[in-house]
Structure 1
Amino acid sequence: MTICAYATFDGQDSDDELDPVLAAWRAAGVEGRAERWDDPAADWSAYDAVVVRSVWDYVPRRAEFLAWARHVESVSRLLNPAAVIAANTDKTYLRDLPSVPTHWSSEDLPHWPEYVVKPAISAGARDTTRTRDRGEAVALAAALEAAGRTPMVQPYLDMVETEGETSLLYFNRRLSHAVRRNPMLAGGDADASLAEARTPDADQVELAERVLATVPGPLLYARVDLVRLPGGEPAVIELELTEPYLFLRHDPGAPQAFAKALVELL
């Protein structure tokens, strides 16, 4: 039987997708075992593949995490690959995508009605601030630069409060399902349980697949997070290729689709 590691973190009890995924893998003929990514006792060479999942504590230890990914890839199959993870954990990748307008410096900040300021290396809404005060936005960006971090300054888009963010989930580059979710800074509850299934529009699917086509190599999973700009066109707010929540509960066939994709890639 094929044996795969499900790479998680010390707080794996908070990962409500672990059990459904391991059950779907088992049904597909893959024995899955949860392993903490930073467990020094883990023998990664014992696995046919290591699937990066809920490694949600990596951000303050990114260098250590990337070294781990390269090591695992030297002794086993890593999904997603180490090169993909290295590029995807620094949001400067958005410079090359049709994304929300982003200013990457504290200098010459555009005049927008409202700002979102965050570091390029982060997860969720960590170290992220929403403000109407341009001076505060400049100071926040400058503080990130002083700490050796790259700032991202974006306009806050009012329409996300009604439109929300649309997340498209892909397994082995095939669209599995999509959800509408509340944005982290819209003032609502961003809890995953409040997301809802959504049929993506044709222009959203076209953009998501065009973005994925820019990433070479195998992709076991991908989540493309989109918003609509004031003119109505979709734009990328994030491309999640490292440890995205997959919203499996929002589509009854999603765990099986995930397992099928893993078997195909192995």
Structure 2
Amino acid sequence: MVPTPEPRRVGIVVTDDYSEAPDRDTAPLIAQLQLLGIAAEPVIWHEWTPRPDYDLLVIRTPWNYSSRTEEFLDWLERAEEQLQVLNPPALIRWNLDKVYLRELEAEGIAVVPTRWADDDAALRHGLAVHAEGWVVIKPSISAGSFDTGLLRADSAAALALGERILARGLTVMIQPEVPELSEGREKALYFIDGQHTHSIAKGALLARGGGLRGGSYQEDPQPVQASAAEVEFGEHVLAAAGRRTETLMPLYGRVDLVDSAELGTVLLEAELFEPALNLHLAPSAALALARSIESRLPQHQAANAMVG
């Protein structure tokens, strides 16, 4: 009698508090994995001690990592020692701090002009360069637009926000206001295994003078079309990230960009380990991600090797 094979098990890494922004990705992803005969379940990263419980661990929505960065990195290292983790931890560690944008710029990727401040003198200089102009100020490690503001560069509020970020031990990013961003024309392009699956526009989030529009973090994702040039731009971003980290094509990724009259097409962020994928708006992308996860499971890889 042929023994029944053990079901393949995948842990989907999440957290336990989505009061600021809902997680709309985990449920449709798990549903698609289960249809493929894969036992998948959410794993709250800070409540689970890394051990070989799963065939694969997929990092998805651990969105409180930015306030517990050292703890998260320690957990990630221990997880990597126990089992395969995707996206690769080397890519995650690189992508966690937005200073990676400087490396992508060195690779020829056009990025929103950014001044970086690691101390008070650099902060004051970075603000002074913009005189009376409006700037976006944010920390290099953040999620959900925490400690992010659209402020007059010469305002007391801008300096205070920068100083608060420095006090947290983080680098301050100072960027000029891009009119197209304030008009809500940012696009997020999603890639599964390097293939573009869908795109969304989430609208403008920041209110002039500080704070978020509507008083809280409220994305309004709407499906949009990406041009061939925008998709190609996203592909270049993923390739450059791979070169910088010496990793293979990520399982998933999100490339945030805007087409600016002044700057051309520029990168805002490349989110390669915890982006909201908006799978509830793109069921075909949920299936594509589930199949890509299946292709990375050890049993599936072994079967393919025997067939080959």
State the TM-score, normalizing by the size of structure 2. 0.80
1:253 matched to 2:284: yes
> Is 1:21–1:259's contact at 8 Å kept on the other side of the alignment?
yes
Q: Any idea what the Cα deviations from partners look like across 1:189-228, whole Å, max 9, x if unmatched? A: 6634x22111111221111110100223241110001112
**Alignment partner of 2:75 out of 68, 74, 78:** 68
User: Which residue of structure 1 lines up, in the alignment, with residue 197 of structure 2?
Assistant: 176
Q: CA deviation at 1:146?
A: 4.2
Q: Which moved more, 1:178-187 or 1:220-229?
A: 178-187
Separation in 2 of the partners of 1:19 and 1:145?
Answer: 37
Task: Please report how far the alpha carbon of residue 180 of structure 1 lies from its aligned counterpart in structure 2 after TM superposition.
Answer: 1.4
Q: Look up the match of 2:58.
A: 51
Measure how far apart 1:143 and its partner are.
Answer: 4.0
**Distance across 1 between alignment mates of 2:98 and 2:185:** 21
* Partner of residue 114, structure 2: 102
Q: Is 2:222 aligned against 1:196?
A: yes
| SS of residue in 2 equivalent to 1:253 | helix
Deviations 1:111-148 (A, max 9, x none): 26211111101112100111124243344324433442
Choose 1 or 2 for highest CA Rg: 2
Identify which of 10, 16, 24 aligns with 1:10. 16
Q: Say yes or no: does 1:213 pair with 2:239.
A: yes
Partner SS state of residue 169, structure 1: strand
Q: How far 1:252 moved relative to its partner?
A: 2.9
Letter in 1 for 2:239: A
Where does residue 265 of structure 1 map in the other structure? 296
Give the secondary structure class of the aligned counterpart of 1:45: coil
1:263, 1:148 → 2: CA distance? Answer: 40
Judge which range, 137-146 or 67-76, deviates more: 137-146
Q: Residues 134 and 80 of structure 1: is their aligned pair in 2 closer, same or farther, counting only changes over 3 Å?
A: same
Q: What amino acid is aligned across from residue 146 of structure 2 in structure 1?
A: R
Q: Which residues of structure 2 form unaligned runs of 5+?
A: 1-6, 105-109, 118-122, 298-308
Contact 1:66 1:82 in 2 (8 A): no
Query: What is the RMSD computed on CA atoms of the aligned residues?
Result: 2.0
Q: 1:121 matched to which residue of 2? A: 141
Secondary structure of 2:74's partner? helix
Contact residue 4 and residue 49 of structure 1 kept, 8 A: yes
Aligned residues: 264
1:120–1:250 CA distance, 2 compared to 1 (3 A) = same
Report matched runs for 1:220-235 at 5 Å.
220-231=251-262, 233-235=264-266
The corresponding residue for 2:300 is none
TM-score, scaled to structure 1: 0.91
- Aligned with 2:144: secondary structure? coil
Unaligned runs of 5+ in 1: none
Residue pairs, 1:13-52, within 5 angstroms:
14-40=22-48, 42=49, 44-52=51-59
Distance across 2 between alignment mates of 1:84 and 1:133: 33
